[in-house]
Amino acid sequence: MIDFGFSVNPSSRINLDAADGEKFHRLAALEPDALKCMACGSCSASCSAAAFEDTSLRRALLSLQNGLSDDAAKLLSHCMLCGKCTMVCPRGINTRHLILSILKIYSL
Amino acid sequence: MISLITNTVHQITPEGIIDRYPNSYNHFVLPFVIGMTFILVYLLIGLIRILYHLSGEDRLKLLKSLINPKTAWKNIKDIFCDCLLHTKIWKRKPLLGYMHSAIAFGWFLLIIVGHIEVGLFAPRHLSGLTEGSLYYPIFYRFFIWMNPAHETLRGSVFFFLMDLILLYILSGIGLAMFKRVRSIALGMRHTTKPSLADRVALYCLWLIFPLRLLAEGFTADLSGGGFLTRPLNWVFRAFFGNELNFLPTWWAYSICLGLFFLAMPFSRYMHILTEPLLILFRNAGLKVRKPRKGFAEAEIYACSSCGLCLDACPMNTQKKNLKYSSVYFIRFLRRRNKKKVNEIADKCLMCGKCYALCPVGVNSPAIRRAIRETHNNSIKSDYSFMDTYAGSAENSDKKNKILYFAGCMSHLTPVIIKSVETLLKASGEDYEFMDRDKGICCGRPLMLAGRTDAARQTIQANTKIINDSGCSILLVSCPICLKIFKEEYSLKGIEVLHYTQLADRLIKDGKLKVSKSSSAIVYHDPCELGRGCGIYEEPRNVLKAVAELKKASKEKDESICCGYSLGTITLDEKDKAKIAESSVSSLMAENPDEIVTSCPLCYRAIRSKAEVPVKDFAEIICENIEKQ
Amino acid sequence: MKNNILVIGGGPAGMEASAALSRMGYNVILAEKEKSLGGHLAKWDRLFPDQIPAKQVLDSLLEGIKDVKCFTETDVNSINLLDRSYNAMLSNGITILADAVLLASGFDLFKAEKKEEYGYGIYEGVLTNADLEKAFKEGKTFSPAPMAIGFVHCVGSRDEKAGNPACSKVCCATAVKQAIETKELYPDANVYCFYMDLRMFGRHYEDLYLRAQKSGIRFIRGRVSEVSETADGRLLVKAEDTLSSKPLKVSLDRLVLMAGMRPSKAGRAVGHQLNLTTEEDGFFSSADNLLSIQRSKLPGFFYAGACTGPKTLPDTLHEARSAAMEIDRYIKENFRK
Amino acid sequence: MIYEGKKKIWAEYQKEIPEDHYFYVRSCIRQSFFPASEATFLDITRNKLGKDIFETEHHTTCGGIAYHSDAIPQETAMTIIARQFALMKKYGYENYVCSCITSFGLYCETLETWREFPELQQKIAENLWKTCHLEFAKPKFLVHASDLIFKYRMQIAAKSKYKLVNKNTGEPLRVVEHIGCHYSKMFPSKGVGGAEYPYVLVGMIEAWGGQIVDYPERRHCCGFGFRQYFIKSNRGYSLANTHKKFESMEPFKPDMIITNCPGCPYFLDRWQYVIAETEGKTYGQDGHGIPVFTYEEVAGLVMGYDPWDLGLQTHQVSVEPLLDKIGIPYDPAKKYLGKNGKNLGQPEKPHCLK
């Protein structure tokens, strides 16, 4: 191996073929609301934790669907479960249970 | 009759009482003795287990409370009122209260008076096991022959008393039987479905006292009897003749008692024996720590499965959700059905109404929280941002009297924040806004979800900010925050007040002048404010000063949760909406013009369902501040 | 005397208008270039949002025109405005003197092969909304059962390079409907919808969207950039997931292109003969886009349906009925004084 | 894959390529890295096919590299280009053929810009006159050198000695074609076969017996991208693009790659070495790489040129396994001998790439 001072940049591309569908199915079985997000962003806009750190349930769900579970866990790690997102979600998603379920399924 | 007593040794007492059996024994007592022994051993083991699972600190607390005369007196009072007289039920549902006290207090009296009678007339049989002291007082009327010629006034009083007590109990049993058929007549819309052990114990309980009446009726001519047993004896003799074969009824009576005691640990009737223990624990100030052991176990066995929580639960608007009531929760917990327990624990709104209305005082919300803790507390979080955040106080150099913490939810209802600020300014109060732009959550939602460790971190961060602010009053507009600030924060010298309390105080102090409008309003008690913190009167005092206050069909500690409590984890939006509807319909009982509440969650929930204007507590005060 | 009215185009608009005019007592002549009536409706299996069979709608439309003279496989060879009537020569040799003409020439589906990067006609797995609908109608299933299927919204719509900057209005709902039907047919398959905006404007359309989401259909916001074939003959589809601002790839077994609406070629030929103007999008310009969409700039010449821009079926049918009323009013004002 | 569908698209992107009489301009990069390719182009067209391809030593760079690296403004680049066109006119030609894809793209861009903005063309004509005293002209036909070879592919096939066929199996070789981005992605109508399914190299491969490999990242850039390569801190990105292409073509097991751009063969070839040395991965058979050729090299090979005369010893990826596959004889001893017979010196053997 030779050090050229540069190497292949990692790809930022999402590969849906490699996404773990089984875990997401488990999540959807536990909290079917996982499928209902329409990406309006109300949750992140009202989020108490987002005022301090990068926190977004919308993006966390998206990351999970894209197979990037580490990103999702990070996006929810600052959540204080205050429930504002539940109050504002236009789809009536049970966000608190969804967050708890994500953290439980994907942090193992 | 003579033949019956020929082969007995006559031991004549001063009042002509003769022991018909020299060894004071007959085989029929065996079922009772077996049952009684079983239950006593079971109780002893259970007590040791529960005490073993208490933490050392809790055991010490318990011991101290037992020797403290103040708590000891409270223990006695509570046990007498709650376990025997059932005053809590009496207050809400008199007929149901009578039923319970008739059985419990009646039976208690029967035992006590029975023992006194034995103590007076055959004291030997109370002295030791060899003399049958375990069973003798129970079957006293079987073992003795009383010379009618020597009947005294003292004896007759006991005959009368014992029969009166029996009648009292029988009236309770009669009501109980009637309740099985038509529960609504006793004020219960829903009743529990009994388990097999429950049924066995129930039928035994129903039979015990009628059988006692029968048995004593058969022997009333020998042992003497009162206004019930004597006439019964005449009737029996009229039908069956002189030779009465009374032994089978005594057997049946003993079998029922034995069976009842054998079934007791597996049935709801365990509450009779566990409730006093729970009272001792509660008065000692113990709290639920583990979901199934120690204190919680005492709570679980203290549940009488009466089903009053079925009617209390706000989820009962839909029949499908009745299965999430506390009574079933406790039942599954007792049976160690983990799946069901978890499901119910997560569904609950934690509104606390079942706890408030429970005649035994089983704190099932606390147990639910402990269950949640077992599977949610290990969830990792990253709250490092709290380490550096120092709050967004506006003029931090000035030490203000009042620090206002709006909390996460109030930020979704700007009308509350705006009105609270208007109210403070109108009263000339100096205040500082702790979380105008952003803030750390109070920790109650995490706590409710069982994430205790995470909650502790937010509590720690907020405690520092509040203590550093130099305030003397912490003002909150969200009851959820209020509860945790009061219970879990250690704020030195700082008074935590809900804005309803502050408003009441400001008006009383003359700092805030309000005028009364002609509007008829109704007040919705938020769960965490009312049942959670016991604040019912302050908001009403203020509201009476600004409007005509109407009543809701259910209010104060019976207030129906708005459905949007943060306590629930899995209840879905549709179910929440249904609960909100039932809450609103209770509020509309007297057709008020407006609904007022004092919680941002309730405000939003009720607003979404009510057809009359919904106002925040501070908002309606601001509308009625007297212009100077 | 009954006034002659010529209706050009035997799709839903032409049929519904003919039925209404005939009920009003006019002598209606309907000319349709295809072998049978029904237009695109006849080729569709089920209709959004309620998934009622297209045949059911078609049958009731056919029922309405029992008394109408229909010429199928008939083009309008020439048409010109005389004094106040139109003289039309049909390809079947018949000449008609009509007091009013209704153009209901509808739309052509965008030719999906024009979006070369999607590989329609090049990769076996790529098909159009019409192809899929045909397969549904004929009860044909894919074998082996596909494991992953994608739907591309806005193919030939909202695309200046494809010559159509406008929205075709029906594709979103069609895609979601077809995605649901596909998922029902192949429950184990991953179904993806690649959309730019979801325009679920009609009644129950949003319900359809929610139903699709609940059934596990994944909505990816981003237009497919290119499609290629993998070594094992599947389709490799690339897009950007614009909600996470990341490029994305996925292997699919089938890719369904939601071909949009373009002005009908045959309709434009008729318009050309009368110098009827079209707007920039190629659809006919109405006298007024708010008050009288059914009127053209020529007296006695009317429009109904998608010849004045993309429309849903209910829109088309409403227009057809209101066009009939407009024609009735025109005849009464000009011929019955 | 439906071949008929592709043919339909190819039919839509036909470009007029005159048979003969061209003014030829070279490529800066190719002159340096693949000098034999341009020499072969001239030899085949002039000597083997008897075409009139004129070249003058007075032509310069087109300015493309400087332009794309933001080193010179557009007007400067256009004036340089105007001078090239003026030379063509001066020597009496009206068909312009260039060796470089960057140039080809820039010529197309310039001609389109002039068409859209005649005032700019006027200004450039003035610039040209002021600076060079040359008369402004535009070519009647602008083609790329690969267009010409495409045009002559059948004539070359008729004169070929070898076919792109594995002599052991008789199977056609699996060939990956790679088109320079600036050939038709900017102006699909200017390239043979358009941008999505370009036909220019496919036509050659088909004519010479090979089989085309259509792999998912076929359209992707080779990784050159001017700025991405020139700045060292961006090279990892350049490399990543090449890596992506190879990962995508690997399952198709291609025998060779044919390109029509100056940068592409260079990067597809050299980056295989860097990928091998940094990632430890090779894409050809038995630890070899996939050999990369210019279209002139491939034309030369099928026509029987000596591989070393085509400059194949300057490739990083060894070509011998492919030559063996086709059955083209070569003398290993002569690999590193120059035209004059002197030893050029032998490169070090890489660690990973055979």
Q: Are residues D60 and D136 in the same domain?
A: yes
Mean pLDDT of D73-77: 95
Last residue of a domain, one of B345, B374, B403: B374
Q: Which residues pair with B520 in a beta bridge?
A: B548
Burial class (CB in 10 A: 0-12, 13-18, 19+), D234: middle
Evaluate if residue D68 carries a pLDDT over 90: no
Q: How far apart are CA B625 and CA B628, in angstroms?
A: 9
Spatial CA neighbour of B485 closest among B616, B366, B499, B560: B499
**Phi, then psi, of D175 in degrees rounded to 5:** -115, 135
What is the Cα Rg of chain A in Å?
16
D344 assigned to some structural domain: no
D10 assigned to some structural domain: no
Q: Are residues D178 and D212 in the same domain?
A: yes
Per-residue pLDDT band for D322 (boundaries 50, 70, 90) equals very high
Residues 6+ apart with CB under 8 A from C38: C10, C11, C12, C15, C58, C61, C62
C-beta atoms of A7 and D278 within 8 A: yes
Spatial CA neighbour of C104 closest among C61, C133, C137: C61
Percentage above 70 pLDDT, chain B: 95
CA distance C152 to chain A (A): 16
Spatial CA neighbour of B155 closest among B120, B185, B190: B120
Residues 6+ apart with CB under 8 A from B141: B215, B216, B219, B220, B223, B224, B225, B229
Half-sphere exposure of D78 (CA within 13 A, CB side): 20
**In this predicted structure, what is the pLDDT of residue B8?**
43
Distance of CA B183 to the CA centre of its chain: 20
Q: Are residues D313 and D217 in the same domain?
A: yes
Q: Are residues B422 and B526 in the same domain?
A: no
DSSP 3-state of B549? strand
Q: How far apart are CA C29 and CA C7, in angstroms?
A: 6
Within C169-311, residue ranges assigned H as helices are 171-185, 205-214, 265-273
What is the CB neighbour count within 10 angstroms for residue B265? 18
Is B462's Cβ below 8 Å from some Cβ in A? no
DSSP 3-state of B253? helix
Mean pLDDT of D99-109: 96
**In this predicted structure, what is the pLDDT of residue B9?**
43
Q: How far apart are CA D148 and CA D142, in angstroms?
A: 11
Torsion over CA: B328, B334, B338, B341 (sign): positive
Q: What is the domain range of residue B308?
A: 28-67+272-374
Q: Residues B21-53: pLDDT tens digits? A: 777 788 999 999 999 999 999 999 999 999 999
Measured between CA atoms, the residue of chain A closest to residue D281 is A1
Do chain A and chain C touch with ≥3 beta carbon pairs under 8 Å? yes
C-beta atoms of A84 and B443 within 8 A: no
Last residue of a domain, one of B505, B532, B559: B505
Q: Are residues B404 and B439 in the same domain?
A: yes
Q: Are residues B440 and B517 in the same domain?
A: no
- Residues of B in Cβ contact (< 8 Å) with A43: none
Percentage above 90 pLDDT, chain A: 90
What is the CB neighbour count within 10 angstroms for residue B147? 14
Is C211's Cβ below 8 Å from some Cβ in A? no
Burial class (CB in 10 A: 0-12, 13-18, 19+), B465: buried
Evaluate if residue D42 carries a pLDDT over 90: yes
Q: Residues D161-203: pLDDT tens digits? A: 999 999 999 999 999 999 999 999 999 999 999 999 999 999 9
Q: Residue C200, by phi and psi: left (phi above 0), alpha (psi -120 to 50) or beta? A: beta
Residues 6+ apart with CB under 8 A from B410: B416, B417, B477, B478, B600
Return the amino acid letter for C69: K
Q: Are residues B488 and B576 in the same domain?
A: no
C-beta atoms of A7 and D244 within 8 A: no
Output the domain CATH number for residue B55: 1.10.1060
Spatial CA neighbour of B357 closest among B306, B321, B318: B306
- C226: nearest CB among D6, D8, D219: D219
DSSP 3-state of D213? strand
C-beta atoms of A36 and C243 within 8 A: no
**In this predicted structure, what is the pLDDT of residue B243?**
67
Structure tokens at A69: 């579970």
A residues 5..44 contacting D (CB < 8 A): 5-11
Per-residue pLDDT band for B2 (boundaries 50, 70, 90) equals very low
Torsion over CA: B331, B333, B339, B345 (sign): positive
- D239: nearest CB among A1, A2, A7: A7
**In this predicted structure, what is the pLDDT of residue B220?**
87
Q: Residues A36-86: pLDDT tens digits? A: 999 999 999 999 999 999 999 999 999 999 999 999 999 999 999 999 999
Measured between CA atoms, the residue of chain C closest to residue D10 is C116
Last residue of a domain, one of B505, B534, B553: B505
Evaluate if residue B576 carries a pLDDT over 90: yes
C-beta atoms of C246 and A17 within 8 A: no
What is the CB neighbour count within 10 angstroms for residue D286? 7
- C121: nearest CB among D5, D195, D219: D5
**In this predicted structure, what is the pLDDT of residue B392?**
63
Residues 6+ apart with CB under 8 A from A103: A73, A76, B379, B380
- Cis peptide preceding C144, ω within 30 of 0: yes
Mutation site for A-interface testing, chosen from C249, C252, C255 by largest number of A Cβ within 10 Å: C249
Output the domain CATH number for residue B613: 3.40.50
B169 assigned to some structural domain: no
D8 assigned to some structural domain: no
Q: Are residues B357 and B405 in the same domain?
A: no
- A13: nearest CB among C190, C210, C247: C247
Evaluate if residue C298 carries a pLDDT over 70: yes
Q: Residues B70-106: pLDDT tens digits? A: 999 999 999 999 889 988 888 888 998 999 999 999 9
Q: Residues C10-31: pLDDT tens digits? A: 999 999 999 999 999 999 999 9
Q: Are residues D171 and D304 in the same domain?
A: yes
Query: Given the structure tokens 């005849």, which residue do they identify?
Result: C331
DSSP 3-state of D75? helix
Please provide the size of chain B in residues. 628
Do the bridges between strand C246-252 and strand C254-259 make them parallel or antiparallel, or are there none, so unpaired? unpaired
Return the amino acid letter for B90: W
Q: Are residues B363 and B389 in the same domain?
A: no
Return the amino acid letter for B493: G
Distance of CA D283 to the CA centre of its chain: 22
Q: What is the domain range of residue D114?
A: 17-145
Q: Which residues pair with B431 in a beta bridge?
A: B402
C-beta atoms of D6 and C124 within 8 A: no
**Phi, then psi, of C336 in degrees rounded to 5:** -125, 40
Spatial CA neighbour of C129 closest among C193, C50, C209, C185: C193
Evaluate if residue B131 carries a pLDDT over 80: no
Output the domain CATH number for residue D42: 1.20.1050.140
Q: Are residues B347 and B399 in the same domain?
A: no
Is A107's Cβ below 8 Å from some Cβ in C? no
B45 assigned to some structural domain: yes
Q: Are residues D165 and D295 in the same domain?
A: yes
Mean pLDDT of C40-66: 96
Q: What is the interface size between A and B, counted as CB pairs within 8 Å?
A: 87
- Residues of D in Cβ contact (< 8 Å) with C231: 215, 251-252
Q: Are residues B346 and B403 in the same domain?
A: no
Query: Given the structure tokens 């050659």, which residue do they identify?
Result: D204
Mean per-residue pLDDT over chain C, rounded: 95
Is A79's Cβ below 8 Å from some Cβ in B? yes
Q: Which residue has the higher pLDDT, D348 or C260?
A: C260
**DSSP 8-state class, residue B625:** B
> What interface predicted TM-score (ipTM) does this complex get?
0.88
Angle, helix B338-347 to helix B326-334, in steps of 10 degrees: 150
Largest Cα span, chain D? 63
Q: How far apart are CA D147 and CA D191, in angstroms?
A: 8
What is the CB neighbour count within 10 angstroms for residue D237? 17
Lowest mean pLDDT among B184-198, C149-163, D138-152: B184-198
Mean per-residue pLDDT over chain B, rounded: 90
Q: Are residues B389 and B356 in the same domain?
A: no
B443 assigned to some structural domain: yes
Q: How far apart are CA B403 and CA B188, in angstroms?
A: 46
Mean pLDDT of B159-184: 90
Q: What is the interface size between A and D, counted as CB pairs within 8 Å?
A: 36
D339 assigned to some structural domain: no
Q: How far apart are CA A45 and CA B534, in angstroms?
A: 34
Q: Are residues D141 and D167 in the same domain?
A: no
**In this predicted structure, what is the pLDDT of residue D354?**
79
Distance of CA B25 to the CA centre of its chain: 42
D9 assigned to some structural domain: no
B144 assigned to some structural domain: no
Spatial CA neighbour of A2 closest among D277, D287, D280: D277
Q: Are residues D107 and D172 in the same domain?
A: no
Q: Are residues D168 and D134 in the same domain?
A: no
- A77: nearest CB among B381, B573, B604: B381
Last residue of a domain, one of D145, D173, D206: D145
Percentage above 70 pLDDT, chain D: 100
**In this predicted structure, what is the pLDDT of residue B149?**
72
Do chain B and chain D touch with ≥3 beta carbon pairs under 8 Å? no
CA angle A96, A98, A100 (to 5 degrees): 70
B467 neighbors B590 (Cβ within 8 angstroms): no
Measured between CA atoms, the residue of chain D closest to residue C237 is D216
C-beta atoms of A8 and D277 within 8 A: no
Query: Given the structure tokens 């905006």, which residue do they identify?
Result: C197
Q: Are residues D139 and D245 in the same domain?
A: no
Evaluate if residue B175 carries a pLDDT over 80: yes
Distance of CA B150 to the CA centre of its chain: 50
- D2: nearest CB among C117, C124, C231: C124
Ranges assigned E (strand) in B262-407: 402-405
**Phi, then psi, of C301 in degrees rounded to 5:** -115, 120
CA distance A2 to chain D (A): 6
**In this predicted structure, what is the pLDDT of residue B475?**
97
Q: How far apart are CA B369 and CA B289, in angstroms?
A: 10
Evaluate if residue B201 carries a pLDDT over 90: yes
Q: Are residues D22 and D137 in the same domain?
A: yes
B232 assigned to some structural domain: no
Please provide the size of chain C in residues. 337
Evaluate if residue B107 carries a pLDDT over 80: yes
Q: Residues B506-540: pLDDT tens digits? A: 999 999 999 999 999 999 999 999 999 999 999 99
Q: How many domains does chain D have?
A: 2
Evaluate if residue B443 carries a pLDDT over 50: yes
C-beta atoms of C243 and A17 within 8 A: no
Evaluate if residue C337 carries a pLDDT over 80: no
**In this predicted structure, what is the pLDDT of residue B4?**
44
Q: Are residues D125 and D186 in the same domain?
A: no
Mean pLDDT of B437-463: 96
- Cis peptide preceding C12, ω within 30 of 0: no
**In this predicted structure, what is the pLDDT of residue B7?**
41
Is C124's Cβ below 8 Å from some Cβ in D? yes
D295 assigned to some structural domain: yes
Is C194's Cβ below 8 Å from some Cβ in A? no
CA distance C206 to chain D (A): 36
Per-residue pLDDT band for D139 (boundaries 50, 70, 90) equals very high
**In this predicted structure, what is the pLDDT of residue C67?**
87
**In this predicted structure, what is the pLDDT of residue B71?**
92
Q: Are residues D198 and D83 in the same domain?
A: no
What is the CB neighbour count within 10 angstroms for residue D24? 23
Measured between CA atoms, the residue of chain B closest to residue A97 is B569
Q: How many domains does chain B have?
A: 3
Structure tokens at A100: 């708890």
- D6: nearest CB among C122, C124, C230: C122
Evaluate if residue D84 carries a pLDDT over 90: yes
Per-residue pLDDT band for C33 (boundaries 50, 70, 90) equals very high
B308 neighbors B191 (Cβ within 8 angstroms): no
**DSSP 8-state class, residue D209:** T
Within B427-511, residue ranges assigned H as helices are 444-448, 452-469, 479-488, 499-508
**How far, in Å, are B108, B136, C249 from residue D237 at the CA level?**
87, 97, 19
Evaluate if residue D127 carries a pLDDT over 70: yes
Domains and CATH numbers, chain C: 4-106+264-335 (3.50.50.60), 110-261 (3.50.50.60)
Per-residue pLDDT band for C1 (boundaries 50, 70, 90) equals low
